[in-house]
Amino acid sequence: MSIVLRYSFCVCLFLLFSSCFEKRDSLQLSSMKDEETLVSNKNISKINGVSFVASRDSLKQKNIESILRIHANYAAIMPFGFIKSLDHPEVVYNQDRQWYGETKKGAKQYVNLLHNNNIKVMMKPQIWVWRGEFTGLLKMASEADWLQLEASYKSFIIDYAKLAETEGIEIFCIGTELETFIEHRPEYWRELISEVKTVYKGKLTYAANWDEYKRVSFWDLLDYIGVDAYFPVSESKTPSLGEAKEGWERWKNELKAFSEKENKKILFTEYGYRSVNFSGKKPWKSDREMNSVNLEAQANLLKGLYQSVWEEDWFAGGFLWKWFIAHESVGGSEDNQFSPQNKPAEVIVDNCYSEN
């Protein structure tokens, strides 16, 4: 073999091995980056929140202790506006006769104390229709009434968006379960979001009902897909943990697919179960005739929810419905309402929040 041929052969071998090493190093680097991303994702803490019920009274440090004990890192503060009926076009809010925690002054005081305890906040102004009628059915009878409602609701939301910006609130929710309003006035909502963004620079969401979220048309303008997660998951009187997890499979797959479609994470703006028989069948129900007490059902359903969705990459976290200020005097073994306070379910919440 001539010297020239030998030289060429050596050069080819060198280039071949160099290429192999480069590919191997590249694959190793890519693998390391994937592992780093995976570790990073695992280390991102969830929004472990509670829906903090407004009170007649100001918030005191002792009222925060129960939230800290369950390792919550977020609280939803919910000032209220009121509407006389489902076809009435005026939102009344920030009135002297309202409870302190439902007003701007009260919301600000709550937020300040929560922030002082390193608890972040979602401000979630909500509408209450007289006699507790479902806000999703709010519908005006004329164009004039729609325009009046839009102006009134905008005043309500912008006022609290300004407060959220002033107080450094981390998430602002532009509405809760207003399905018919959104369906009939879609352009109004896009314009409202644009106006909110001129006064508030934090993260935005909307709290869609569990069977509404796929029809909301403005997720592209928001940071989180907000869902009030009252999905039916079990027909049983006392669902087992296995039944609860099985019941979540359908909804879990739908939520994941929707999150990927919209390229945004799902945030449970509300979630929870009553401590009552059949509480997984229609979790949104709060009928007074449901007067049984079933602490096991509530605990199993919450545990099933946590084990099904809480560690998913598409899931941002959620706000437990609901948490009262006077922890020592609410909930307990005879209570059949949503709060897990002083019940076995409180331990379930603590276990999840302390690990995430």
pLDDT digits (tens, 9 = 90+) for 150-161: 999 999 999 999
pLDDT given for residue 296 in this prediction: 98
As a whole-number percent, the residues of the chain with pLDDT over 70 amount to 88
pLDDT level of residue 287 (50, 70, 90 thresholds)? confident
The Cα 83–Cα 152 span in angstroms is: 10
Averaged pLDDT, 290-306 = 97
Residue 29 has pLDDT above 70, yes or no: no
Mean pLDDT of 1-14: 44
Cβ atoms within 10 Å of 239's Cβ, excluding its own: 26
CB-neighbour burial class of residue 83 (10 A; exposed 0-12, middle 13-18, buried 19+): buried
In this prediction, residue 44 carries a pLDDT of 65
pLDDT at 41 over 80: no
For 172-223, the pLDDT digits (tens) are 999 999 999 999 999 999 999 999 999 999 999 999 999 999 999 999 999 9
For position 262, what pLDDT does the model report? Answer: 98
Please compute the mean of the pLDDT values over residues 59-70 and round it to a whole number.
96
Span of 12-26, 48-62, 148-162, 198-212 with lowest mean pLDDT: 12-26
Q: How far is CA 230 from CA 165, 221, 248, in A?
A: 30, 24, 11
- More confident site: 286 or 21: 286
Which is higher by pLDDT, 38 or 195?
A: 195
| Range in 9-13, 316-320, 347-351 with the lowest mean pLDDT | 9-13
Confidence at residue 66, expressed as pLDDT on a 0 to 100 scale: 96
Cβ atoms < 10 Å from Cβ of 290? 15
Output the average pLDDT for the chain: 90
pLDDT at 289: 82
- Is residue 169 pLDDT above 80, yes or no? yes
Domain 49-355 has CATH 3.30.1180.10: no
pLDDT of residue 23: 38
307-329 confidence digits (pLDDT tens): 999 999 999 999 999 999 999 99
Q: Report pTM.
A: 0.88
